[in-house]
Amino acid sequence: MRALQGQGDRVSDRHKGVSVASVFAVHVQAGTHLIVSRAVGELPRTELSGSSRSAVEAARLVGMLSPGVVTLDARLPDGDGIELAGRLHADYPRLGLIVFGPSRTSLLRRAVAAGTAGYVVAATADVARVTAAIRSCLAGHNSFSSRLLAGAVRNERLVPLSRREREVTELLRDGLGPSEVAKSLKISESTVKTYAARARAKVD
């Protein structure tokens, strides 16, 4: 974890008693952290208060640092980022949460249900998009791709998958094999195959 102190005008603002918004970043890739850092630098009276690659560490540090916004990956090395977002939203209802993930409507639906305020498609994330998402979040607005939202609404008309069917399907799509999915979800490999078959039957 890196706890980042504000510099230059931001430090001066704090000394003058000016309110400074803070952002905490939870991402696997250093490049994503850099984009978030640069985006924060584009916003007045806003600082990056810290960063982490760990869901467990982030949950602890958010409580200590009390940021206004948290940006986080949909998947983290030690946990599900969207589940983390849901827990953070439950504990800190006013906290702004922005998820970075694939262009997948199932993940967007989960992010919305978890109480997030924004969803950034990781593959197309750049400083301008992330700056706009953070600015919108700090202002109390939502920031979602209109194309993703349209897909989510369209797919809601389909027969919904159960929570476990959705989890199995998403892990398989991410490239995990049945045995790896079984280990991740703490179920048997045969159960994984059953859930996968049920999900395919609903989609086909």
57-74 pLDDT, tens per residue? Answer: 999 999 999 999 999 999
The pLDDT of residue 6:
44
- CATH code at 86? 3.40.50.2300
Residues 166 and 95 in one domain: no
Query: Is the pTM above the cut of 0.85?
Result: no
Residues 172 and 100 in one domain: no
List the Cα angle 96/99/102 in 5-degree steps: 165
- CATH code at 198? 1.10.10.10
Domain that includes residue 194, residue range:
159-203
Q: What is the residue-level pLDDT of the chain in tens, covering all 204 positions?
A: 555 544 444 544 555 566 899 999 999 999 999 999 999 999 999 999 999 999 999 999 999 999 999 999 999 999 999 999 999 999 998 899 999 999 887 788 788 888 888 899 898 899 999 999 999 889 887 676 545 554 554 555 445 678 888 888 888 877 788 888 899 899 998 888 888 877 776 654
Q: What residue type is 33 in one-letter code?
A: H
Residues 180 and 83 in one domain: no
Residues 124 and 150 in one domain: yes
Residues 42 and 137 in one domain: yes
Look at residues 120, 139, 154 and tell me which one is the last residue of a structural domain: 154
Residues 32 and 128 in one domain: yes
Residues 106 and 190 in one domain: no
The pLDDT of residue 53:
96
Residues 132 and 183 in one domain: no
What whole-number distance in Å separates Cα of residue 173 and Cα of residue 47? 36
What whole-number distance in Å separates Cα of residue 36 and Cα of residue 191? 39
Residues 39 and 140 in one domain: yes
Residues 57 and 143 in one domain: yes
Residues 132 and 48 in one domain: yes
The pLDDT of residue 85:
95
Residues 149 and 188 in one domain: no
The pLDDT of residue 157:
47
Q: Count CB atoms within 10 A of the CB of residue 61.
A: 21
* Nearest Cα residue to 176 out of 189, 163, 164: 189
95-131 pLDDT per residue, tens: 999 999 998 877 887 888 888 888 998 988 999 999 9
Q: How many domains does the chain have?
A: 2
